[in-house]
Amino acid sequence: MKKIIALIVLCLFIFSASAAFAESSTIGYVNLENTIQQSKKLQKLTTDFDSFQNQIVADFNREKVGLSEDDARIKAAAYEDDIQMRKQMAEARIDSSIRTAIKLVAKNLGLEIVVTNGVAIYGCKDITADVIKIIDIGQD
């Protein structure tokens, strides 16, 4: 019985010490998937790109009627290049928004390191909600 009580006390000590470490941790983490899904600004960037891509596909489908196979292939390649360029621009804006917000939140909370949720296992402060707020404050 004394061993069980000692084990319980030890477990409680370890739990309280680890909880205190997590609260005072200088390591934070961000769930990138949740950030992109929950940020209004990032959702708008994603939706805008999807709309652009759908419009390009509709334009191509309308314009390819009556074109030779070679001309249709050339026009498709041009549209694909345009879509790829716009996709890279959207991804760069999303990445920049997230990185800027992470830097600001980390600085305000005194965090030395911020990792993504795939890297964080235990003992990190979740700053995802703070990052989303900072991103959306700059919403157009």
Convert the pLDDT of each residue in 87-108 to its tens digit: 999 999 999 999 999 999 999 9
pLDDT tens profile 13-59: 454 444 444 455 688 999 999 999 999 999 999 999 999 999 999 99
DSSP letters spanning 39-107: -HHHHHHHHHHHHHHHHHHHHHHHHTTT--HHHHHHHHHHHHHHHHHHHHHHHHHHHHHHHHHHHHHHH
CATH of 26-137, one of 3.30.910.20, 3.40.50.300, 3.20.20.70, 1.10.3720.10: 3.30.910.20
pLDDT over 70 (residue 61): yes
pLDDT, mean over the chain:
82
Name the pTM for this structure: 0.72
Element (H, E) at 113: strand 113-116
39: how many CB neighbours lie within 10 A of its CB?
Answer: 24
Express each pLDDT in 105-114 by its tens digit. 999 999 999 9
Give the pLDDT score at 4: 52
C-alpha torsion sign, points 93, 95, 98, 102: negative
Please tell me the number of Cα atoms within 13 Å of 125 on its side-chain side.
21
| pLDDT of 11 strictly over 50 | no
- The CB-side HSE value for 132 (13 A sphere, CA atoms) comes to 16
Question: Contact 135/101 with Cβ under 8 angstroms?
Answer: yes
